[in-house]
């Protein structure tokens, strides 16, 4: 993923076949930033407003457009539910 302060970030991410996000901002990447069939690797682990773990990518809205979606925050789910990360 390009530097997040670029003015044309949506244009850059929308052209990507593979998008790796590790920026540390919950749900930063939205469905209008990716093309259909993109492969997404979401390395970001953030706490959402509800206190639950979430990635940098808006999973619920972006995942239907992606061919493959892999996220670190989903791997940490079991640890979060056991209060290890709190």
Each residue's pLDDT tens digit, 26-82: 999 999 999 999 998 888 888 888 888 888 999 889 988 988 777 765 554 444 444
Report pLDDT for 36. Answer: 94
Report pLDDT for 52. Answer: 84
Cα–Cα distance between 1 and 23 in angstroms, integer?
9
Q: Quickly count: other Cβ atoms within 10 Å of residue 7's Cβ.
A: 6
- pTM of the predicted protein model: 0.73
Asked whether 20 and 1 are in contact (CB, 8 A), the reply is yes
Cα–Cα distance between 15 and 28 in angstroms, integer?
17
Give the residue-averaged pLDDT of 81-85. 41
Residue 13: pLDDT over 80: yes
> Could you give the 3-state DSSP secondary structure of residue 84?
coil
The angle formed by the CA atoms of residues 48, 49 and 54, to the nearest 5 degrees, is 10
Report pLDDT for 61. Answer: 92
Residue 85: pLDDT over 50: no
């Amino acid at each position: 993923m390009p530097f997040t302060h670029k003015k044309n970030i949506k244009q850059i991410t929308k052209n990507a076949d593979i998008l790796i996000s590790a920026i540390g901002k919950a749900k930063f990447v939205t469905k209008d930033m990716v093309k259909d069939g993109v492969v997404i690797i979401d390395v970001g682990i953030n706490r959402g407003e509800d206190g639950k773990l979430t990635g940098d990518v808006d999973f619920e809205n972006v995942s239907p457009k992606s061919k493959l979606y892999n996220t670190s925050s989903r791997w940490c789910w079991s640890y979060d539910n056991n209060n290890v990360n709190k």
